[in-house]
Structure 1
Amino acid sequence: MPVPQLKTLTAEDGTVFRDLDHDQRMAPFEDARLTPAERAEDLLGRLSPAEKVGLFFHDIIEVGPQGTLMEGDGAVARSSTRRLVLDKLINHVNVHALPSPRESAEWSNALQELAATTPHSIPVTVSTDPRHSFVENSGAAFAAGAMSAWPEPLGLAALDDPERVREFAEIARQEYVAVGIRSSLHPQIDLGTEPRWGRQFHTFGNDSSFVAEVAAAYIEGFQLDRGLGPTSVATMAKHFPGGGPQLDGEDAHFPYGREQVYPGGRFDDHLVPFRRALEAGTSALMPYYGMPIGLELDGEAVEEVGFGFNRQILTGLLREQLGFDGVICTDWGLVTGTTVFGRPLPARAWGVEHLDELDRLVKIIDAGADQLGGEARTELLQQAVDQGLISPERVDASVRRLLLVKFQLGLFDNPFVDPDVATEVIGREDFVRAGLRAQAESMVLLHNGTVDGVPTLPVTTPLAVYVEGVPAEEAARLGEVVTDPAEADVAVVRLPAPFDPRDDLFLEGFFHQGSLEYRPGLVARLRAIAAVAPLVIDANLERPAILTPFTEFAAAILTDVGASPAALVDVLSGTVAPQGRLPFEIPRSTAAVRASQSDVADDSQDPLFPHGAGLTYG
């Protein structure tokens, strides 16, 4: 399918323009010679109340078969594409699963063609959660698929180099733009100060200064310049004012994880990356679900409601004290509860559960938010405006911000993409190589014992190898693969991160929460393997798992946060030397974790491995 042709007219002065309002004349907002701010201001005065209301919603969208527009309700999206774009006039959407690069580009073009039939042809801003991951989590991130595959953000942090993060961001930006994705619902720049928190693998660790520098590199790599442009992806840094210090590490997606606590009095530490993100010009910010407990700012108690409902945080702190005038978009589902895949998904109305849906929405807008993530309740906002609960001036303030970003991104002038370019750019060979190199180099070597005076790693000569969690065809690069550890010269076992399985609520099964300890039986079985062959453990560290038992018998301990089997074998064989450094400390015990303070980085007593630990070869 070819790229849709831009339908243009020529004004009396010879200027070529898109007739966005279908009246055969060039209005100021259609004049590309004006500034984005001038064009946004002109269009603001022309919009109907329904068009303004539609801009406030940032809902989920799904792609139909073979890149067509989805008709009817999807698995997660609650509305067909036409109902969303034409009936509700919603033009910010969060896309979930994508087909092939060509089909994805064709879908994006079909979506923009549909939007061009609305009264002012407001283009759709397509957003996404991270999608260069190894973990498929439909509530937080997507596996890379056809795109280049990289370590999780926590793995990138292990490289201890903001410029490597910039490299990732610049590559990811090109892959996003190729299929029409122009808004990233990331970076996640929370500090992972609570070891049990299940969202840590999307953070860049817990060092506020380092995370701040990474935030800037990430934002600059995606946005290219502070004013945005036609090849930029607008970033939405999250989760303001820092989502890491969760009580007992439970996640605020769920009712039992509502509370955010600051026993160490380190609220300001968690603000440091966000201050740097503002300096770097992030286009948008997203507050977290969590509600602060016992927090005071400037001597005043902060209301114990979720941050998306919290006027002291969004208007008092973010708008007035920090001077942010970009877009504030709530996290998903603060107003409306639903059921997905047979699992309940309650509204995350923490602290305001007693309010009805209309009053929740009003409180969010009054708090200072411009958009409601994961919602499509346009009728509620219109009701609030009609009843005088939200003023027209307040509506215009948000609409102005939202339109400005669309003009800055060049979407009004050309929202279409070339499917041939998408096919060439997505998963480009040099992009894939860069991602694979980052996977391997981000691995952290914590222990490397000797066998007969020779270091266990790297494996430089072919050996008999027993493996678990590594495909035999990859392991064969190390030597002969055997099925009995007793016949092996070395045993290699990959370990998933430990957690307590939960699956009562939607998304709960994707979030690894609870215990950081490995199962006793697993430890006993690995001890038995180590008794007959030198044991190399590769532990996934999406959270700082308790590795203490393995130090008693493992010949070598590697860790990763997103590395393919090929990357692991590159490290085991010495083709690539591990360069990673721990982006947090490894606690010695669960008791030490429980005694630590949730808002304080590296706060456990006598850690097993300190923050920054890591060996290499040679």
Structure 2
Amino acid sequence: MTSHTHTSPRHANHGNHAIHATSVADDGIRYRDLNGNGIMDPFENPDLSPHERAADLVARLSLEEKAGLMFHTVIETGPDGTLLETPGNISKSPTSTVILGKFMNHFNIHALGTAREAARWSNTLQALAEQTPHGIPVTISTDPRHAFIENSGVSFTAAHFSQWPEPIGLAAAGSADLIRRFAEIARTEYTAVGIRAALHPTVDLATEPRWCRQAGTFGQDSELSSKYVVEYLQGFQGDELGPDSVACTTKHFPGGGPQRDGEDAHFPYGREQVYPGGRFDEHLAPFRAAIAEKTSAIMPYYGMPIGVELDGEPVEEVGFGYNKQIITNLLRDKLGYDGVVLSDWELVNDNIVGDQVLPARAWGVEELTAPERMLKILNAGVDQFGGEECTELLLGLVRDGLVSEERLDESARRLLLVKFQLGLFDNPFVDEDAAAEIVGNAEFRREGHRAQARSVTVLANGTHDGGTALPLAGSPAVYVEGMDPLSFDGFGTVVQDPEQADVAVIRLHSPWDHRDDLFLEQHFHAGSLDFPPGLVSRLRTLAAKVPLIIDVRLDRPAILTPLAGFAAALVGTFGVSDTALLDALFGSVEPQGSLPFDIPRSMDAVRASRSDVPGDTADPLFRFGHGLRLPHLPQAGTATATQSGLSS
């Protein structure tokens, strides 16, 4: 259909937000003339289905445009919401190079400024994308960014967004409704600044106590994880992807929890994934639920399966992203998944940042060249290369006759379909004023704070004289370690001498072995779960002077056995601010948390356990589901242990 009326220039800025160019066809349909030919082509027609539009556009794309679709890498913002046109700390190329030169249009954003700056950057990025031959809009993705863990390989602290517990804290709170509400609020904040894809949820099962990524999961239980992923996807995606949705990538298929010795597959020493208990199918359960709930994408993990059989056939011992038996035979054919498969980051090339390196996670195929690795990933059934921008390698494989253009069409169609379903081709722009009002607004922050307090898990609450230490009452004199003293304003008076205190409140991190050889290694808390003996001795001495309330931030299930011997009360948290913790300790908000995993009694028990079996450590100190309710508060939920808090 020929268009006779253009209602705006190719792109214009009106006020504080970008307005996309629109045209009017002969029959009155408004559309964006993305290829500038004056005709409403089928892919530009908003009245056609996403499937019809995607099929039409794939047939129009050049080989270079198809290749660009199949890469998804990190991008950084410039100052004040501008585009970054010099390589940054994480991004490898100027923004205009990857969009106009390599025709890429899927980007994972790391650090963001204010909501207004984030929205401005998103709009500027989309305006740049309009200059490509078919104006394919950008899909901006993010790792989780509403909680407390700052790790560019995993998640980001909330900053300007509302702050909530880590995913495992949402699971500890034990409310499917709360998880749905979190996802709805996160979706609202994401879409306000132009983020339309989530590189989450993580539905790996936390079955290996030493594994460093448990905080991003829903815990050790497959049934609960399956239940919670449905609520999560409903909150972000809805029943179907649409203009208000955020498309989710469920990860890490087929379940990244059972790492040998708990070491993570980001690193060469953690490449092996093992199933000594034969529980491979149990780890698949949350993915089955996510597929039924129409997750937009699935990400395989880095790990390589050791000693696994499927349908009586040994599974090739190569990383899951290279594994045709896992991606095509299991995920595509057996489980019936036809959405996007996005590889985890940097399977093809090493990542060199400053003077550190993170080797390509080419586990089991280390000897292959970069083009050979890419070919194996494609043959496995992956649609998109995460963390890479080496489009020239893919183009070379096609031109050398090793990959057909029809193979690129298959993946390009899946990737474009999501963009059409999200409405990005019709309007990828956002309103800066609205973003500033929505993101991190007072109501969202209140809900996040309350969720944090609710997720606090009381493990033990008994003094030596048979009384209870919690809830705290009045305005006590408090000795504090590991907390901001200013957070006690309105709760009590902070004193420097523990012998002058009525109570001591101590916050600890779960132990880990500090490592910093490979890039990102320092951010992954791995190794022993034992507290150092000097710390334990000092706290025992302190407990002789003043009752101790000890909170441990349980990003992993620390060995709490020595602390339980002298703490007046022992609490576990999973992403909780100081003030939210105090609201729980004083009973202003009832702590309702229950453990999302067992707390082992000793490291010997951990080492003897099977990595793929939930709750497999012998005689745990506190069992999965344990959580006490405070006296003199309305009852909520069911306490699952004795008042002492110790399992019998």
1:39 corresponding residue in structure 2: 53
2:72 corresponding residue in structure 1: 58
Per the TM alignment, residue 15 of structure 1 is displaced from its structure 2 partner at its CA by: 1.7
Gaps of 5+ in 2: 1-14, 632-648
For 1:241 and 1:9, the matched residues in 2 are separated by 46
What is the DSSP-based 3-state SS (H/G/I as helix, E as strand, rest coil) of the residue aligned with 1:347?
coil
For 1:542 and 1:397, the matched residues in 2 are separated by 40
1:426 corresponding residue in structure 2: 439
Give the conservation status (yes or no) of the 8 Å contact 2:17–2:433: no
1:4 corresponding residue in structure 2: 18
Per the TM alignment, residue 512 of structure 1 is displaced from its structure 2 partner at its CA by: 0.2
Give matches, 1:72-221, under 5 Å.
72-221=86-235
Give the conservation status (yes or no) of the 8 Å contact 1:459–1:478: no
Per the TM alignment, residue 460 of structure 1 is displaced from its structure 2 partner at its CA by: 1.1
Q: Which amino acid aligns with 2:139?
A: T
Deviates more, 1:465-474 or 1:172-181: 465-474
Q: Which amino acid aligns with 1:479?
A: G
1:317 matched to 2:330? yes
Give matches, 1:406-421, under 5 Å.
406-421=419-434
1:58-77: CA deviations, max 9, x gaps?
A: 01100001110001101000
Give the conservation status (yes or no) of the 8 Å contact 2:344–2:387: yes
2:361 corresponding residue in structure 1: 348
What is the DSSP-based 3-state SS (H/G/I as helix, E as strand, rest coil) of the residue aligned with 1:477?
coil
2:528 corresponding residue in structure 1: 515
Per the TM alignment, residue 395 of structure 1 is displaced from its structure 2 partner at its CA by: 0.9
1:22-63: CA deviations, max 9, x gaps?
A: 101110111000000000001011001100000000011000
Query: Identity, % of aligned pairs?
Result: 59
For 2:591 and 2:629, the matched residues in 1 are separated by 5
Give the conservation status (yes or no) of the 8 Å contact 1:207–1:601: yes
1:222 matched to 2:236? yes
What is the DSSP-based 3-state SS (H/G/I as helix, E as strand, rest coil) of the residue aligned with 1:93?
strand
Q: 2:540 aligns with which of 507, 514, 527?
A: 527
Give the conservation status (yes or no) of the 8 Å contact 2:205–2:220: yes
Q: TM-score, normalised by structure 2?
A: 0.94
Deviates more, 1:406-415 or 1:564-573: 564-573
1:591 matched to 2:604? yes
Q: 1:567 aligns with which of 580, 584, 595?
A: 580
For 1:28 and 1:469, the matched residues in 2 are separated by 60
Q: 1:231 aligns with which of 244, 247, 257?
A: 244
For 2:584 and 2:73, the matched residues in 1 are separated by 42
For 1:174 and 1:525, the matched residues in 2 are separated by 46
2:32 corresponding residue in structure 1: 18
For 1:219 and 1:16, the matched residues in 2 are separated by 31
For 2:455 and 2:101, the matched residues in 1 are separated by 47
Give the conservation status (yes or no) of the 8 Å contact 1:465–1:478: no
1:375 matched to 2:393? no
Per the TM alignment, residue 341 of structure 1 is displaced from its structure 2 partner at its CA by: 3.4
Per the TM alignment, residue 478 of structure 1 is displaced from its structure 2 partner at its CA by: 3.0
1:545 matched to 2:558? yes
What is the DSSP-based 3-state SS (H/G/I as helix, E as strand, rest coil) of the residue aligned with 1:455?
coil
1:394 corresponding residue in structure 2: 407
For 1:454 and 1:549, the matched residues in 2 are separated by 21
Q: Which amino acid aligns with 1:551?
A: A
Q: 1:287 aligns with which of 291, 300, 306?
A: 300
Q: TM-score, normalised by structure 1?
A: 0.99
For 1:124 and 1:341, the matched residues in 2 are separated by 28
Per the TM alignment, residue 2 of structure 1 is displaced from its structure 2 partner at its CA by: 2.2
For 2:466 and 2:554, the matched residues in 1 are separated by 29
Per the TM alignment, residue 451 of structure 1 is displaced from its structure 2 partner at its CA by: 6.6
Deviates more, 1:430-439 or 1:4-13: 4-13
Q: Which amino acid aligns with 1:92?
A: H
For 1:362 and 1:306, the matched residues in 2 are separated by 14
Per the TM alignment, residue 338 of structure 1 is displaced from its structure 2 partner at its CA by: 2.4
What is the DSSP-based 3-state SS (H/G/I as helix, E as strand, rest coil) of the residue aligned with 2:490?
helix
1:472-515: CA deviations, max 9, x gaps?
A: 22224332211111111101100011000000011101000000
For 1:271 and 1:598, the matched residues in 2 are separated by 15
For 1:6 and 1:609, the matched residues in 2 are separated by 57
Per the TM alignment, residue 617 of structure 1 is displaced from its structure 2 partner at its CA by: 1.2
Give the conservation status (yes or no) of the 8 Å contact 1:477–1:569: no
Deviates more, 1:456-465 or 1:253-262: 456-465
Q: Which amino acid aligns with 1:288?
A: Y
Give the conservation status (yes or no) of the 8 Å contact 1:538–1:558: yes
1:383-422: CA deviations, max 9, x gaps?
A: 0011111112111110000000000000000000000010
What is the DSSP-based 3-state SS (H/G/I as helix, E as strand, rest coil) of the residue aligned with 1:585?
coil
RMSD: 0.9
Q: Which amino acid aligns with 1:359?
A: E
Gaps of 5+ in 1: none
What is the DSSP-based 3-state SS (H/G/I as helix, E as strand, rest coil) of the residue aligned with 2:89?
coil
Give the conservation status (yes or no) of the 8 Å contact 1:105–1:422: yes
Q: 1:27 aligns with which of 23, 30, 41?
A: 41
Q: Which amino acid aligns with 1:354?
A: E
Give the conservation status (yes or no) of the 8 Å contact 1:157–1:205: yes
What is the DSSP-based 3-state SS (H/G/I as helix, E as strand, rest coil) of the residue aligned with 1:237?
strand
1:193-216: CA deviations, max 9, x gaps?
A: 000000001010010000001011
1:440 corresponding residue in structure 2: 453
What is the DSSP-based 3-state SS (H/G/I as helix, E as strand, rest coil) of the residue aligned with 1:271?
helix
Q: Which amino acid aligns with 1:280?
A: E
2:592 corresponding residue in structure 1: 579
For 2:28 and 2:121, the matched residues in 1 are separated by 33
Give the conservation status (yes or no) of the 8 Å contact 1:467–1:475: no
For 2:40 and 2:476, the matched residues in 1 are separated by 73
For 1:284 and 1:5, the matched residues in 2 are separated by 29
For 1:55 and 1:387, the matched residues in 2 are separated by 20
1:261 corresponding residue in structure 2: 274
Per the TM alignment, residue 530 of structure 1 is displaced from its structure 2 partner at its CA by: 0.2
Per the TM alignment, residue 450 of structure 1 is displaced from its structure 2 partner at its CA by: 3.3
What is the DSSP-based 3-state SS (H/G/I as helix, E as strand, rest coil) of the residue aligned with 1:467?
strand
Give the conservation status (yes or no) of the 8 Å contact 1:492–1:537: yes
Per the TM alignment, residue 469 of structure 1 is displaced from its structure 2 partner at its CA by: 1.5
For 2:493 and 2:77, the matched residues in 1 are separated by 45
Per the TM alignment, residue 342 of structure 1 is displaced from its structure 2 partner at its CA by: 2.1
Give the conservation status (yes or no) of the 8 Å contact 1:292–1:302: yes
1:487 matched to 2:500? yes
Per the TM alignment, residue 224 of structure 1 is displaced from its structure 2 partner at its CA by: 1.4
Q: 1:455 aligns with which of 465, 468, 471?
A: 468
What is the DSSP-based 3-state SS (H/G/I as helix, E as strand, rest coil) of the residue aligned with 1:416?
coil
The structure-2 alpha-carbon separation of the partners of 1:341 and 1:457, relative to structure 1 and needing over 3 Å to count, comes to: farther
1:300 matched to 2:318? no
What is the DSSP-based 3-state SS (H/G/I as helix, E as strand, rest coil) of the residue aligned with 1:412?
coil
Per the TM alignment, residue 10 of structure 1 is displaced from its structure 2 partner at its CA by: 1.5
